[in-house]
Every structure is written in structure tokens, then in C-alpha cells.
């Protein structure tokens, strides 16, 4: 998997078509692929703060890698949102949202007038709403404890997932 937490991967020819295929719809705003898997396929995109029609877009990092999306969905289906909220301190969760919001808001021109995106990860103001958004944030920035917690529970070898370093990492029977 390729990712540089300081500079995005340039969006290559064909990325719009591939992301359209992965999402099942055409993206409604500008984006850059910021994380790719070992084959070069998009895993995470960084959205601009506004859609093409000017609508605020609160989700800065969006998980598009098909295998990873499915794996995170399986984890969410087990009640993991409640589990991670119980395990992590509220101050840690709040800080994640504040950092995310600050990074997204820094991309908005200072003279922008009109509605702005709001909230933290995926537009959330309090707690955890979507593990997919946290995983995307962790993969893109390396700065999301909820995303890291979730990735530690992804089966080893899932396309788009980073190599294991967490002691609680899930295995596939190894």
C-alpha cells in the first residue's frame, strides 16, 4: 500500500472512472487518490470541502477500496461502533474530530462566504458514526485512533489494509 501522510498521491488517468466503479456512482466533487493498494488501485480519496454544485462536503477522506470497505462493514455489523466508543476516552474521540475538522477547514479559502462543511470525521460532532471514515482518515493521515483500532480487527491479507503492527491484530488462523 502506498501512502505519504504529507503529500497526496497524484490522481492518475483513469482514477475518476475507477472511483466511479468502486462507488457505484460518479463522484459529485473533486478528489485526489491519497492511498493506493499494492496494485495501484485507489483505497482512499481526499475530497475537496465542497461538491461541484457548492454543497458543503464534510467527509474529507473516503474509503473506496472494495475489500477494505467490506471488511470494515463486517466489523461495524458486530456492534463495533459502540465497542470502540466504550474503549476509547471521550477526549481522544473529540480530539480526532477536531484535528479532522481543522485539516478540512484549512482547505477552504479564507474569503469563502456561504455554507461550510461542519463536524469532524464524516461530519460527526460527538462520538463515532462511521468506522469507514475513521479507517480512511487513519490510512491517509496516520492520526486516527478509531481507524487504527478498526484496522487491527481487519483480517490479515485484506486488500488495501496495511501490514500488521498492532499486538491485537486479527489473523486468519495463522
Lowest mean pLDDT segment, chosen from 66-70, 80-84, 146-150, 162-166: 162-166
Whether the Cβ atoms of residue 172 and residue 161 lie closer than 8 Å to each other: no
Distance CA 73, CA 80 (A): 10
Length of the chain: 174
Distance CA 31, CA 51 (A): 10
For residue 22, pLDDT beyond 90:
yes
Distance CA 56, CA 78 (A): 31
Sorted by where each begins, the domain ranges of the chain are 2-151
Of the CA atoms within 13 Å of residue 13, those in its CB half-sphere come to 0
Mean confidence (pLDDT) of the chain? 87
Distance CA 106, CA 124 (A): 18
Closest CA to 99 of 45, 60, 130: 60
Amino acid at each position: 500500500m502506498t501512502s505519504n501522510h504529507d503529500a497526496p498521491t497524484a490522481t492518475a488517468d483513469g482514477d475518476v472512472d475507477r472511483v466511479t466503479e468502486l462507488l457505484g456512482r460518479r463522484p459529485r466533487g473533486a478528489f485526489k487518490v491519497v492511498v493506493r493498494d499494492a496494485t495501484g488501485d485507489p483505497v482512499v480519496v481526499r475530497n475537496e470541502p465542497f461538491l461541484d454544485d457548492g454543497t458543503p462536503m464534510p467527509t474529507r477522506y473516503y474509503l473506496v477500496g472494495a475489500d477494505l470497505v467490506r471488511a470494515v462493514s463486517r466489523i461495524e455489523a458486530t456492534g463495533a461502533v459502540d465497542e470502540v466508543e466504550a474503549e476509547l476516552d471521550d477526549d481522544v474521540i473529540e480530539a480526532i474530530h477536531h484535528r479532522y475538522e481543522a485539516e478540512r477547514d484549512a482547505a477552504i479559502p479564507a474569503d469563502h462566504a456561504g455554507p461550510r462543511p461542519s463536524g469532524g470525521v464524516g461530519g460527526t460532532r460527538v462520538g463515532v458514526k462511521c468506522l469507514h471514515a475513521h479507517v480512511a482518515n487513519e490510512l491517509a493521515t496516520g492520526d486516527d485512533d478509531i481507524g487504527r483500532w478498526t484496522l487491527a480487527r481487519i483480517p490479515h491479507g485484506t486488500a488495501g489494509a496495511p501490514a500488521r503492527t498492532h499486538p491485537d491484530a486479527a489473523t486468519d488462523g495463522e
